Structure 1
Amino acid sequence: MYTPPAFAEDDPAIIAAIMRACRLPVLVSAGEAGLEATHLPLLHFPDPAPHGTLVGHLARANRQWHVLRDGAPAMAIFQAHDFYVSPGWYATKRETGRVVPTWNYEAVHLQGAVEIIEDPIRLRDIVTALTDREEAPQPNPWHVDDAPEDFIAAQLKGIVGVVMTVRSVIAKRKLSQNRPPADRAGVIAALAASGRAEEAALMHEREAAADRPGPEPSPRSRG
């Protein structure tokens, strides 16, 4: 992913938040037959360090898992907020007219080796973890154990688990950092006025974080 320094993100907490905000990431792999991609929910676990593990599952009829089993390179793509930015929102448009449209967004790319899980116990653990995450907001959460045991066992035969040990992380937050403060303020105001309160708050939060001073240097580090 092309990531100019102004847009690069390395804060683990922010990266984790972007991944949580992405409801349906994409798992991409490259094999002898070409590229394969599947949209699927994925859970991130912090272990093993330094980048953790991604866990999900694929339909057994999906040929991508055979490619992954054979060791094909894999990437998981998480995209959170994204929105169009009109040149009319910039103060610079009124001053010089030298502006063009753009698109702001947050994204994380994770790469690593994938293990295919067919063991029914481990596979059930994966399905349970994913289900529990999604059911948590429900007033009466459904649990895997609520269904008949023979039914769940039959359903598990139709899927395979995927576990990616993450080897690299690239995170990008393109939120108009390359624009003057007046232009960024114009984007925030326009988003708020158009009902995009969440995106406006996202940019406002980034502005506030950029304005906060860093930690004081320790006595040993002062020159």
Structure 2
Amino acid sequence: MYIPDHFKEPSTQVLHGFIDQNPFGILFTNGAGGYDANHLPFELQPEQGPQGTLLAHVARNNPVWQDVQTGDKVLVVFQGAHAYVSPTWYPSKQEHHKQVPTWNYMVAHAHGRITIRDDERYVRGVVARLTRRHEANLPQPWKMTDGPKEYIDSMLKAIVGIEIEITSLVGKFKLSQNKAPQDIHGAGIALKEQGHTVLGDAMLAAPAKG
């Protein structure tokens, strides 16, 4: 990924927080069957390994877990807020008209090595933590014990766990940092008015580096 210095997010802690808030990633593999991409919800274990470890599961019928081997290099991409930015939102455009459209976005790339975890205890733990987190704010949170034991056991047998030790974590937060402060502010406010609140707030909080 091409990352100009002014768009680079160097903090591992910030990138861990970004993944935690945007856990639905794309797993890219290059196994025996060639290139593949799978869209999966991930759980980040930030303290496991030098740069953290990603946990997930796939359907047993999904060939990806047999197409790759433990130790293979993989890439997981996490994308956050993104939106079109009009040059009309930059105050300086009204002065010299030297502005063009762009697209702002926030993304993290986690490179790592995959481990296939085809064991029921591991998969049960991954599913339990995933559902506990995403059910937490619901009025009546679902939990695994809500289903008949035989049914839950059969569903767990139908999935396979994967674990990815992150070996390199890079982030690109393109938030108009190469623009003048008044232009960042103008575009950030306009994005919020368009409903892109997360991206607009991130722009308003980002220091100009241009």
TM-score range, shorter chain: over 0.9
Tell me the residue number matched to 1:137.
137
1:59-208 aligned at under 5 Å gives the runs 59-69=59-69, 71-207=71-207
TM-superposed CA distance for 1:10, in Å, is: 1.8
TM-superposed CA distance for 1:198, in Å, is: 2.9
Output one character per residue of 1:5-57: Cα deviation in whole Å (capped at 9) or x when no partner. 11111223321222123252111101233211111100000132321110010
Contact 1:68 1:115 in 2 (8 A): no
TM-superposed CA distance for 1:70, in Å, is: 5.2
Contact 1:68 1:74 in 2 (8 A): no
CA distance in 1, matches of 2:65, 2:19: 22
* Deviating 4+ runs (over 3 angstroms): none
CA distance in 1, matches of 2:126, 2:175: 34
Tell me the residue number matched to 2:37.
37
Tell me the residue number matched to 1:46.
46
1:5-20 aligned at under 5 Å gives the runs 5-20=5-20
Contact 2:191 2:197 in 1 (8 A): yes
TM-superposed CA distance for 1:84, in Å, is: 0.8
CA distance in 2, matches of 1:51, 1:198: 26
Mark the runs of 5 or more structure 1 residues left unpaired by the alignment: 212-223
TM-superposed CA distance for 1:174, in Å, is: 0.6
TM-superposed CA distance for 1:168, in Å, is: 0.7
- Residue-pair matches, total: 209
Q: Once structures 1 and 2 are overlaid, which stretch shifts more, 102-111 or 92-101?
A: 92-101
Output one character per residue of 1:54-95: Cα deviation in whole Å (capped at 9) or x when no partner. 001001111111123354321111011111111111123212
Amino acid at match of 2:36: E
Tell me the residue number matched to 1:216.
none
Mark the runs of 5 or more structure 2 residues left unpaired by the alignment: none
Q: Once structures 1 and 2 are overlaid, which stretch shifts more, 13-22 or 119-128?
A: 13-22
**Percent of pairs with identical residues:** 36
Output one character per residue of 1:94-147: Cα deviation in whole Å (capped at 9) or x when no partner. 122222111111111101111111111111111111111111111221111221
Amino acid at match of 2:132: D
Tell me the residue number matched to 1:21.
21
Alpha carbons of structure 1 residues 179 and 121: separation in structure 2 relative to 1, 3 Å: same
Alpha carbons of structure 1 residues 199 and 70: separation in structure 2 relative to 1, 3 Å: closer
CA distance in 2, matches of 1:134, 1:100: 40
State the TM-score, normalized to the length of structure 2.
0.92
Amino acid at match of 1:51: Q
Query: Helix, strand or coil: the match of 1:109?
Result: strand
CA distance in 2, matches of 1:136, 1:29: 32
Amino acid at match of 1:98: K
